[in-house]
Amino acid sequence: MGTTSGIATRRMTVAQAVVEYLSKQYTVDSIGGVEYRERLIPGTFGIFGHGNVAGVGQALKQYQQLDPAIMPYYQGRNEQAQAHQAVGYARHTRRRQTFAISTSIGPGSSNLLTGAALATTNRLPVLLLPSDTFATRAADPVLQQLEQPYAYDITVNDAFRPLTKFFDRVSRPEQLFSAFHHGLRVLTDPAETGAVTISLPQDVQAEAFDVPAEFLAEREWRIRRPDADDDDIARAADAIRSAKRPLIIAGGGVLYAYANEELAKFVELTGIPVGNTQAGVGVLPWDHKFSLGAIGSTGTTAANAIAADADLIIGIGTRYEDFTTASRTAFQNPDVKFININVAAIDAYKHGATLPIVADARKALVKLNQALGGYRVGADLEQKIAAEKKRWDATVDEAFDSRSTPLPAQNEIIGATSRAMDAADVVICAAGSLPGDLHKMWRVRDPFGYHVEYAYSCMGYEIPGGLGVKRAAMAEAVNGGTQRDVVVMVGDGSYLMMHTELVTAVAERIKLIVVLIQNHGYASIGSLSESLGSQRFGTQYRSLNEEQHSFDEGDTLPVDLALNAESLGVKVIRIEPGEKVIAELEQAIRDAKAAPERGGPILIHVESDPLLDAPSSESWWDVPVSQVSELDSTQQAYQAYTDHKARQRKLLG
């Protein structure tokens, strides 16, 4: 401890200052009388190489020696996967906590780019600390340095700029203060949050300077929960009162605002039904009288039938991703209007909303509940809701019924998984045919029970993302909260793309349950390809037919992913094809759930028939079809495409 110009300071390296600073940051939130005060950054991931092996690596080692609780260090096998772990953790903690990730320069840093984009697209916080080339240029070009003759100041880390919500480079030690203060402002801002990147040149990380005590003091970041404007609420209440067929679309923002109970009150008071987006699954339990389930391209026929002639859409905490609106064909009432409640103005103003409410979802709903006293939708709408719900529930019951043999349909696998899981358990997914099937069919019973990353729908997110969720669930249980098993559902394509965080789960003995569905390729893109006239081209994993240069007809590959998982130290349960597949799968999941909490990951390997599809959403998704073609299949698909295209509405914004 010393003083510089009369201010108390400590002489330390930039990396030491970063680590100590991050260990002192707390998120504070109060939701309906419940107070939270948690560490914003409960740990740091790192894969070391030149760039961080000395600076950040030295600092982490020094603090670990002093007290391991100051800044726990975690490993991972791939930088992108570490970002996914942080994202999974952030979603389960409702954006109150995330991890910092330190990488080496060059490929270590650029490996993070997909993770950055995923976090930003999903509006989930991650703190990325990619190392950078020498600020002094003492070693230039250093190993792994990108050289651009037209701009000497460009490094691979500049590629983070379009993918992150905040970017800064600490080229001098003094820049640390503003870089981190404003970086964490964005990280904890409910409207702005996403990936935050602070690039740390390797020489600067190791440079010593006098750090003011103020920078190293504990700091609290209160999550802002802006209230709704009274005039906006009054106008919205008027619009709702005069609506005949209103419909709520609830997104992830409802969950981040802990608005689900207030939403339940709102719908029970008014009778307005709810369709939910992927991020919004869990806002109401699946069997709630007014829950229509999933909406849009991967929605239920119930939600889509009600949406078709809705005259007022009340979007709450949704970014109206293309699937939600069925590529702007979901709303066919020519007079449909939008009220959008969102903490982010960009979303509140979407679809030309004349009634944007820029506010916290829960606070806005509290006010709307007060303002709407006495309003209720007509009995005809309530009857239609009940009838449509009944029709869809019967469809799912039938889809879940086990009957396909020797290979089960994916629907049946989903049914078995759902039956074997407890209400508080969490299902995880991201890409392939599973997300759409889960969205429409998963029978969610807990607001934390469903975690499908479908904003970026990134193949490979499943296992690392699930591990991040399990880490958060373990912390939740230690703090006296709910005990939850985390079940990752993953296709063979996604598994092959990124499964190596299983090794991380083995190292830390984390009980992650993985259901791996082997269907020898991309069932999802295969069926999409077929519907667009491209005949499943290139979507199967088969051996090359050299004469035709085709991968579409050969034998399926002799890969054994169960053996692959076993070789990584994972406990594996193989389900053999046959009549008892579904019963055995259900039992295997129950057995995995009964395994000890710190017994490490368990993978259940099951084969499935890629040609047995889920029930239809009676909806559409705009994927452009070739306008001219030599293939009959494409010409026919183009005709169907133009018919759908005619239903697309030019909604503003």
Distance, CA of 529 to CA of 538 (rounded, Å) = 9
Shortest Å, Cβ 497 to ligand TPP:
6
Q: In what order do the strands lie in the sheet with 312-316?
A: 291-294, 274-276, 246-250, 312-316, 337-342, 355-358
From 492, 501, 584, 607, residue interacting with Mg ion (rule: CB under 5 A): 492
Q: Which does 467 bind (CB under 5 to 8 A by kind): ligand TPP, Mg ion, none?
A: none
Distance, CA of 113 to CA of 86 (rounded, Å) = 14
Contacts of 560 (CB under 8 A, 6+ apart): none
Return the sign of the alpha-carbon dihedral for residues 142, 148, 154, 155: negative
Residue 491 touches Mg ion, criterion: CB under 5 A: yes
Q: Which does 202 bind (CB under 5 to 8 A by kind): Mg ion, ligand TPP, none?
A: none
Shortest Å, Cβ 163 to ligand TPP:
14
Kindly tell me which of 245 and 440 has the beta carbon lying closer to ligand TPP.
440
Residue 436 touches Mg ion, criterion: CB under 5 A: no
Nearest one of 459, 450, 433 to 614, comparing CA atoms: 433
Residue 616: Cβ-neighbour burial (10 angstroms; 0-12, 13-18, 19+)? exposed
Kindly tell me which of 408 and 432 has the beta carbon lying closer to ligand TPP.
432
Backbone angles phi, psi at 457, to 5 degrees: 40, 65
Nearest residue to Mg ion, by Cβ distance, number only:
491
Q: Which does 588 bind (CB under 5 to 8 A by kind): ligand TPP, Mg ion, none?
A: none
Write down the H helix ranges in 372-500.
Answer: 379-400, 410-420, 434-441, 462-478, 492-497
Residue 519 touches Mg ion, criterion: CB under 5 A: yes
Q: In what order do the strands lie in the sheet with 44-46?
A: 73-74, 44-46, 100-103, 126-132, 195-201, 166-169
Shortest Å, Cβ 125 to ligand TPP:
22
Tokens representing 585? 């799968």
Shortest Å, Cβ 539 to Mg ion:
9
Kindly tell me which of 51 and 493 has the beta carbon lying closer to Mg ion.
493
Q: Is the peptide bond before 273 cis (omega within 30 degrees of 0)?
A: no
Kindly tell me which of 475 and 497 has the beta carbon lying closer to Mg ion.
497
Q: In what order do the strands lie in the sheet with 219-222?
A: 34-39, 25-31, 219-222
Residue 493 touches Mg ion, criterion: CB under 5 A: yes
Kindly tell me which of 417 and 433 has the beta carbon lying closer to ligand TPP.
433
The residues with which 62 forms a beta bridge, in sequence order, are none
Shortest Å, Cβ 521 to Mg ion:
5
Shortest Å, Cβ 179 to ligand TPP:
30
Report strand pairing: 486-491 vs 512-518: parallel
Q: Which residues bind ligand TPP (CB under 6 A)?
A: 431-434, 457-460, 491-494, 519, 522-525
Residue 595: Cβ-neighbour burial (10 angstroms; 0-12, 13-18, 19+)? middle
Distance, CA of 146 to CA of 129 (rounded, Å) = 18
Q: Which does 253 bind (CB under 5 to 8 A by kind): ligand TPP, Mg ion, none?
A: none
Write down the H helix ranges in 492-542.
Answer: 492-497, 501-507, 523-531
Q: Which does 450 bind (CB under 5 to 8 A by kind): ligand TPP, Mg ion, none?
A: none
Residue 388 touches Mg ion, criterion: CB under 5 A: no
Kindly tell me which of 467 and 490 has the beta carbon lying closer to ligand TPP.
490
Stretch near Mg ion under the rule CB under 5 A, chosen from 317-325, 422-430, 481-489, 517-525: 517-525
Q: Which does 366 bind (CB under 5 to 8 A by kind): ligand TPP, Mg ion, none?
A: none
Q: Is the peptide bond before 356 cis (omega within 30 degrees of 0)?
A: no
Q: Are 92 and 51 in contact (CB under 8 A)?
A: no
Distance, CA of 420 to CA of 411 (rounded, Å) = 14
Q: Which does 262 bind (CB under 5 to 8 A by kind): ligand TPP, Mg ion, none?
A: none
Shortest Å, Cβ 396 to ligand TPP:
18
Distance, CA of 382 to CA of 272 (rounded, Å) = 8
Element holding 450 (H helix, E strand): strand 450-452
Residue 608 touches Mg ion, criterion: CB under 5 A: no
Q: Which does 458 bind (CB under 5 to 8 A by kind): Mg ion, ligand TPP, none?
A: ligand TPP
Stretch near Mg ion under the rule CB under 5 A, chosen from 48-56, 123-131, 486-494, 566-574: 486-494
Kindly tell me which of 200 and 434 has the beta carbon lying closer to Mg ion.
434
Shortest Å, Cβ 433 to Mg ion:
7
Kindly tell me which of 386 and 497 has the beta carbon lying closer to Mg ion.
497
Kindly tell me which of 9 and 539 has the beta carbon lying closer to ligand TPP.
539
Kindly tell me which of 431 and 513 has the beta carbon lying closer to ligand TPP.
431
Q: Which does 434 bind (CB under 5 to 8 A by kind): ligand TPP, Mg ion, none?
A: ligand TPP
Shortest Å, Cβ 537 to ligand TPP:
12
Q: Are 425 and 487 in contact (CB under 8 A)?
A: yes
Shortest Å, Cβ 567 to Mg ion:
20
Stretch near Mg ion under the rule CB under 5 A, chosen from 83-91, 136-144, 456-464, 490-498: 490-498
Residue 85 touches Mg ion, criterion: CB under 5 A: no
Kindly tell me which of 428 and 525 has the beta carbon lying closer to ligand TPP.
525
Kindly tell me which of 89 and 456 has the beta carbon lying closer to ligand TPP.
456
**Cβ-count burial 266-276 (b if 16+ within 10 Å, e if not):** bbeebbbbbbb
Shortest Å, Cβ 456 to ligand TPP:
8
**Cβ-count burial 133-164 (b if 16+ within 10 Å, e if not):** bbbeeeeeebebbeeeeeeeeebbbbbbeebb
Kindly tell me which of 40 and 409 has the beta carbon lying closer to ligand TPP.
409
Distance, CA of 339 to CA of 343 (rounded, Å) = 13
Q: Which residues contribute to the site for Mg ion (CB under 5 A)? A: 491-493, 519
